[in-house]
Structure 1
């Protein structure tokens, strides 16, 4: 996939950056595609799921 230079510059996408492709469906068909920088996606997942995982771990008494 080729992204125009203007878009890459606005999104601060550099050569070698890894991007995740996310899709949204409506009525069983893909209606939207979104590219997210993998490093940013990782930060979002950690900040949102980290507290949930920590709480579950504490409630289990530290058992895995």
Structure 2
């Protein structure tokens, strides 16, 4: 069975992802660092690792 992509709640409209924030050893084990803009939908997804970034209090924040 597959797992759902990780969701990160953020307060910033611009976020960075390198796929290795929670991996000991850092970016060498992840993917190239990319900057992602969260749009009016209130979320954006990383094209490398599918991590979803959700703007806190935005339209996609269902917490």
Query: TM-score, structure 1 length as denominator?
Result: 0.30
Query: TM-score, structure 2 length as denominator?
Result: 0.30
Q: Which has the higher contact order (CA 8 A, sep 6+)?
A: 2
Instruction: Say which structure is richer in helix.
Output: 1
**Bigger Rg, which one:** 1
